[in-house]
Amino acid sequence: MVDDQSRTCFMKSIQWPSMKDELWRQSGIWTLERPEALQSASVVQNDFCLQEVVADGSNSFNFTHHEDFLLSQMGPTQSLALIDGQYSYQLAVSASALSVSFKIDGKVNIDFQQAMSDQGWQLRVFEFYVAKGAALAITSQVNQPDSQSMVLWLIHQEQDSVLNFSREHIEGAFVRDHVCVNQIGANASSFLHGLYAAHQQQLSEHIWTVSHQAPGGRSVQKLRGILNDNARSVAISQVKVIKGLHGIESEQRLDHILLSDQAAVHTRPQLEILSDDVMCQHGITVGAIDEMALFYLQSRGIDQMLAMQLLARGFFEKIWTGELSELMLEKLAEVIDEAGRHEFSK
């Protein structure tokens, strides 16, 4: 089942969004120069030229081992079928616009190594069809300081399927994710986790939507971020439940720490619940580092800078399913160090 409405909305946004669109109203995109490539019609729609490739846990893929394959030789767009395996998707194409469709069966883990160009805009559409009883785990990070990118993640889940989505915004001048999950089969489960650390003039934006279209579904959305300097973030978490469903459980948590008076975050949960038999929890926090916790660590002889780093790390690790990446730890240390030096200079 293809979510034509989500794709159409995103294609329109690729042409250039409108401030009349509620999801774009608070975006930092209005402070950026409009790219020439987006002056006319969509640059993505004309590039669809799909190829079918099947990879399983024993076969080779694209003439290299399936655990470490490079897809850049396959052209700007692909359609891939992945069956049982650990895959590393090394996205190293230079095209400004790219669309890839995945068909998932069995248990599949994909690690996206998403190389963004430091020059110009990067537009990405990744679509996943998760078969009945299949499990898909996606890990991904953005780590290009001057990149400007918009990414749409469209994920369709059949009955009893499981999705684990983990995304890190580490470096990027402007990074915007639209994650649209459609539970079209009964008893599907979706777990979305995101982290971001932004400083200077960086813009980090997260628009997540889980649409429950079948009974017995469960969804969890957890996002945490730390901002310093003049960094900006938009974080919107949406849950939709159509009429007549039962046994739906959802949880939304959006937590943010501001290390400077100039940093800002526009964040909110949105719920569109058209059924009675649901359990939906949501919460948002925006604030500073816990002063009491910081004082406690310092009273134990821990340097203030190190204490702030430990608290920031713990703040992220509380929702993260695995270990924080070295790149994220380095970025956290950099952001905390800048905030600490600014505090000491007052």
Mean pLDDT of 306-331: 93
The SS3 call for residue 21 is coil
**SS3 call for 275:** coil
d(C-alpha 76, C-alpha 97), whole Å: 8
Residues 161-220: tens digit of each pLDDT: 999 999 999 999 999 999 999 999 999 999 999 999 999 999 999 999 999 999 999 999
The tokens for 76 are: 């700007």
User: In the chain, what's the furthest Cα-to-Cα distance?
Assistant: 62
Report the percent of the chain where pLDDT is more than 90. 54
**Is residue 111 within 8 Å of 89, Cβ to Cβ?**
yes
In terms of DSSP H, where are the helices of the chain?
4-15, 291-299, 304-317, 326-344
Q: What is the overall mean pLDDT for the chain?
A: 79
